[in-house]
Structure 1
Amino acid sequence: MSALRFAAGVTLVGGGALDRETFEQARGLAPHVVAADGGANALSLWDEGAEAVIGDMDSVADLPRWRAASRVVHIAEQDTTDLEKCLYSVEAPLFVGVGFTGRRFDHTLAALHALLRWRDRRVVLIGAEDVIFLCPPRWRARLAPGARVSFFPLAPVSGRSSAGLRWPVDGLDFAAGARIGTSNEAVEAEVSASFSDWGMACMLERRWLAEAAAAPGEAPASAG
Structure 2
Amino acid sequence: MKDKTLLFINGDAPKSLPSPANYELIACTDGAFHYLKRMGFPLDKLAFISGDFDSHSGSDEDMYEEKFILTLDQEKTDFHKALEIIQDKGFSEVDVFGGSGGEQDHFLGNLTVAFAFKDLMNIKFYDEFSEYYFISNHFTLKGAKNRMISLYPFPSVNNITTKGLNWPLTNESLSITSRIGTRNFAVEDEVSIEYESGDVLFFAGNKEIEYPTIY
TM range (shorter): 0.7 to 0.9
CA offsets per residue over residues 85-133 of structure 1, 9 Å max, x none?
A: 1112213242111112112111111111122111021111112211111
Partner of 1:125: 125
1:24 aligns to 2:18 (yes or no) = yes
Partner of 2:9: 14
Shift of 1:207: 5.5
Whether contact under 8 Å (1:41, 1:61) holds in the other structure is no
Matched residue of 2:100: which SS? coil
Whether contact under 8 Å (1:156, 1:175) holds in the other structure is yes
Inter-partner Cα distance in structure 1 for 2:156 and 2:80 = 22
1:138 aligns to 2:138 (yes or no) = yes
1:74 aligns to 2:70 (yes or no) = yes
Which region of structure 1 is more displaced relative to structure 2, 167-176 or 102-111? 167-176
1:38 aligns to 2:37 (yes or no) = no
Partner of 1:83: 79
Matched residue of 2:161: which SS? strand
Matched residue of 2:18: which SS? helix
Shift of 1:178: 1.2
Partner of 1:211: none
Inter-partner Cα distance in structure 1 for 2:41 and 2:183 = 39
Inter-partner Cα distance in structure 2 for 1:61 and 1:205 = 37
1:57 aligns to 2:56 (yes or no) = no
CA offsets per residue over residues 154-198 of structure 1, 9 Å max, x none?
A: 222113322212222322221212111001121211110012345
Shift of 1:20: 5.5
Matched residue of 2:152: which SS? strand
Q: Which has the larger radius of gyration?
A: 2
Whether contact under 8 Å (2:158, 2:195) holds in the other structure is yes
Inter-partner Cα distance in structure 1 for 2:162 and 2:41 = 46
Return the structure number with greater strand share.
Answer: 2
Partner of 1:162: 162
Which region of structure 1 is more displaced relative to structure 2, 35-44 or 52-61? 52-61
Inter-partner Cα distance in structure 1 for 2:124 and 2:199 = 15
Matched residue of 2:184: which SS? strand
Number of paired residues? 199
Inter-partner Cα distance in structure 2 for 1:139 and 1:28 = 28
Matched residue of 1:160: which SS? strand
Inter-partner Cα distance in structure 1 for 2:56 and 2:147 = 39
| Counterpart residue type for residue 11 of structure 1 | L
Runs of at least 5 residues in structure 2 that lack an aligned partner in the other structure: 209-215
Runs of at least 5 residues in structure 1 that lack an aligned partner in the other structure: 1-5, 209-224
RMSD, aligned α-carbons:
2.2
Whether contact under 8 Å (1:152, 1:202) holds in the other structure is yes
Inter-partner Cα distance in structure 2 for 1:166 and 1:31 = 38
